[in-house]
């Protein structure tokens, strides 16, 4: 399994970005949940959003609710993070993650076995 994250960049406060995470996974295998985490310099990695593959249920951190939205294209095995109304405090390296089975602790980084390489998002004021 490989996860390839892309779409980061340097933007101004109030702008939008869409991150993509393309997954390479074996035939007949599917994920239970895919998620986005972020890590700012000097801070711990934090949960941003998750999407349960089977039910389509989505979960978002309180800090991004109403601004960020996680979605997927199942045909492409790709999950997206649409980020609107970006703030300087959203600046971080964003990572996509996946696990083969759903976990109620979808917000915990240690629950995920597969990780992408990270993409930098920088929001200037």
The structure tokens listed for 71 are: 């979605």
To the nearest whole percent, how much of the chain has pLDDT over 90?
79
Structure confidence at residue 31 (pLDDT): 85
Name the pLDDT band for 21 (thresholds 50, 70, 90).
very high
> Which residue, among 22, 113, 99, 95, has the nearest Cα to 54 in the 3D structure?
99
Q: How many CB atoms lie within 10 A of CB 59?
A: 16
Task: Compute the mean pLDDT over every residue in the chain, rounded to the nearest whole number.
Answer: 94
- DSSP letter at 87 equals -
Structure confidence at residue 98 (pLDDT): 94
Please say if the pLDDT value at position 102 is more than 90: no
Taking residues 2-17, report their average pLDDT: 96
- Strand residues in the chain grouped as ranges (E): 2-6, 9-12, 17-24, 33-39, 46-52, 58-60, 68-73, 78-83, 92-99, 114-115, 119-124
Name the pLDDT band for 110 (thresholds 50, 70, 90).
very high
Structure confidence at residue 89 (pLDDT): 97
């Amino acid at each position: 399994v490989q996860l390839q994250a892309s779409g980061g960049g340097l933007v101004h406060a109030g702008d939008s970005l869409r991150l993509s995470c393309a997954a390479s996974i074996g035939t007949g295998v599917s994920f239970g949940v895919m998620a986005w985490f972020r890590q700012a310099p000097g801070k711990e990695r934090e949960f941003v959003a998750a999407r349960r593959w089977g039910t389509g249920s989505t979960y978002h951190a309180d800090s991004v609710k109403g601004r960020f939205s996680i979605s997927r294209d199942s045909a492409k095995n790709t999950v997206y993070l649409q980020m609107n109304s970006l703030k300087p405090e959203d600046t971080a390296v964003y990572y996509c993650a996946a696990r083969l089975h759903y976990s109620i602790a979808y917000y915990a980084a240690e629950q995920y076995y597969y990780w992408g390489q990270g993409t930098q998002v920088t929001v200037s004021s």
